[in-house]
Structure 1
């Protein structure tokens, strides 16, 4: 059975650079045999959080939330492509994640961060680690950091220059760690029901 992985991206900017990293990850995971889908917060156009998915009476959640909840529950693992905004997280990606809670539980999550600067979104990645853990995911230790995002991947999400070479070098370990934790979590859920 192929791993079902959702890759989440949250920038709403007109000239988005991080979408290249999201597309790179989708392609690279698919090449390794995973069933991968990009979930783009801008394309979904979710409202600013008013009610979480679970707070709607059954059958009354907006269709976009219902469909996304089904996808999250059906996934084996998640990748969060996290841009850094003012030393912190993107509001679009945070808004998307906050619409859900129990749907995230008991699955591994990986963080791929980026920024225009040279630290590659490290501060955002650090913030996301705590957020995703609190939301019931097991965050893998391997991360991807891409600095100078506009110069590391071209418009077709192909690696270029030193930044692209560094991404290609770090991706296999990142993907291997995610695959290991995905298999472990799936096997444990088959062996024993989750505690809550």
Structure 2
């Protein structure tokens, strides 16, 4: 069953390495027959949150927000790629996510976290998990932490370490399970 799973990248740094994880997971989702559009805050160039999408009068939201709203409303799940900045969520990721709310409801999320060091960004994943749940897109139980991302995935998004392919496979299997289950349930109605 084909799914739509936006891959939301969380870094805008010039020399960011998270794009490698995004390329890797986008390719794996597409190989499974899913649509996996990349949501890149560096390309969106959203302002710091002043007004959420829903707070704009109909037809007046900036084009990138309208485009994301349309994408999110037809999505089945979200895959979030997060670095770890000072043990927390990167500001660009938080800003990108905070522009929306209802668009996320009743859809699962999955967290791929990474770092240049040995911990793989897991310290950012914990507050991110709480944030995603509060927004209505609770994360699946598993994480995909990628330590030393600069060595684990090459510049074209190909894995350079053998463990990564198997770990990503299990991670995406779990995301598919939750996405299919919640899509079926959404089709029967939601609490509001």
TM-score by length of 1: 0.95
The number of residues matched between the two structures is 192
Matched, 1:113 2:109: no
Rounded Cα–Cα distance in structure 2 between residues aligned with 1:138 and 1:120? 21
Offset at residue 190 of structure 1 (A)? 1.5
Point out where structure 2 has 5 or more consecutive residues left out of the alignment: none
Query: In proportion to residue count, which structure has more strand?
Result: 1
Alignment correspondent of 2:191:
195
1: CA distance between counterparts of 2:28 and 2:97?
23
Offset of residue 58 of structure 1: 1.1
**Structure 1 stretches of at least 4 aligned residues deviating more than 6 Å after TM superposition:** none
Matched, 1:150 2:147: no
Which sections of structure 1, spanning at least 5 residues, go unmatched?
none
Q: Does 1:42 find its partner at 2:42?
A: yes
**Whole-angstrom distance in 2 between the partners of 1:126 and 1:165:** 26
Query: SS of 1:79's equivalent?
Result: strand
CA distance in 2, matches of 1:173, 1:89: 24
* Superposition TM-score, scaled by structure 2 size: 0.97
Query: Does structure 1 residue 130 correspond to structure 2 residue 130?
Result: yes
- Specify the alignment match of 1:6 in structure 2: 6
Matched, 1:74 2:74: yes
Tell me, in whole angstroms, the C-alpha distance in 1 between the residues paired with 2:23 and 2:102.
27
Bigger relative contact order, structure 1 or 2 (CA pairs below 8 A, ≥6 apart): 2
Shift of 1:138: 2.5
